[in-house]
Amino acid sequence: MLTREKALQKHREMWTAMREALGDKPSLRARNMFKIEWCLQHEKDEIFCHCYLCQYTHEHGIGCGDCPIDWGNGDTCVGGYTDYGFSSLSEILALPERKVEENGVVAETES
């Protein structure tokens, strides 16, 4: 089972490799193809949505609203899919983690 820390590490590793391979503003199609190939090359099991953060929330049954990354839209990468497709990879890599309370519950993101 993927830990929060490992999901964040693998997320950053994949997106950093994507930026190195494709530049800072690849097309949405290029991003998606890279994620698919990356997961096939680096994992023996399928990764949900080819996203380590989605895999983490899926495994833990906590829902996409508890994504470890604050995508800046009050929800998740899916909620801001268009923004995700047009954001630079540097911007995506710089997104902050959601704060987690001591009991493991994701704290409300400040607006």
Condensed to tens digits (0 to 9), the pLDDT of residues 44-83 reads: 999 998 999 999 999 999 887 788 988 876 656 654 455 6
Measure the CA–CA gap between 11 and 95, rounded to whole angstroms: 12
Query: Does 47 fall in a domain?
Result: yes
98 pLDDT tier (thresholds 50, 70, 90): confident
Query: Does 40 fall in a domain?
Result: yes
Residue range of the domain that includes 40? 4-93
Query: Does 27 fall in a domain?
Result: yes
Asked whether the beta carbons of 28 and 82 are under 8 A apart, the reply is no
Query: Does 105 fall in a domain?
Result: no
Number of domains in the chain: 1
Structure pTM?
0.83
Measure the CA–CA gap between 69 and 3, rounded to whole angstroms: 14
